[in-house]
Amino acid sequence: MGKQIPIKEDLFTWPSAAPQLIGGRCPECSEFHFPLQQNCPSCAGRKVDSVELSRRGKLWTWTIQNFVPPVPPYTGEVKSFKPFGVGYIELPEGVVVESRLTVSDASKLHIGMDMELVLEPFRIDEQGNEIISFAFAPIATY
């Protein structure tokens, strides 16, 4: 029986019943970014604080990825590929983050809708472990 493994350490709080993305906040210019990096991409400051970002936000834009992304780097299912939703979600901190969406039906997505962060299995690795990644889900539908 495999384990559940996050796709990347320190990308989101793990394990967590109410997961949050881990981003950066610059104490100089107060801008946020995701994922956390060394220098502030806004003011080029050299000190950045790690912050847990809000779980909820609004869908800023979206699309449906209808074809298999180039492999590599894509490591998801190819033979049984199913189109997936992708969007940018505006968080209350004033940062807009890119994410997969749990919804892949264009008729169920509209700009401005309320979204919430969830963690979900992305793929099974060779050892049978579930690789866990993040996605945003419409709040109304679950």
Q: Which residues bind another protein (CB under 8 A)?
A: 7-8, 11, 23, 31-35, 41-43, 60-67, 69-76, 84, 86-88, 90, 94-98, 100, 106, 111, 122, 133
User: What is the closest distance, in whole angstroms, from the C-beta atom of residue 86 to another protein in the complex?
Assistant: 6
* Backbone torsions φ then ψ of 140, nearest 5 degrees: -70, -25
The two structure tokens encoding residue 69: 């992304």
85, 64 in Cβ contact below 8 A? yes
Q: Could you give the CA distance from residue 135 to residue 117 in angstroms, rounded to a whole number?
A: 6
User: What is the closest distance, in whole angstroms, from the C-beta atom of residue 80 to another protein in the complex?
Assistant: 14
Q: Could you give the CA distance from residue 136 to residue 87 in angstroms, rounded to a whole number?
A: 8
**Closer by beta carbon to another protein, 1 or else 121:** 121
Contacts with 124 (C-beta within 8 Å, 6 or more apart), sequence order? 2, 130, 131
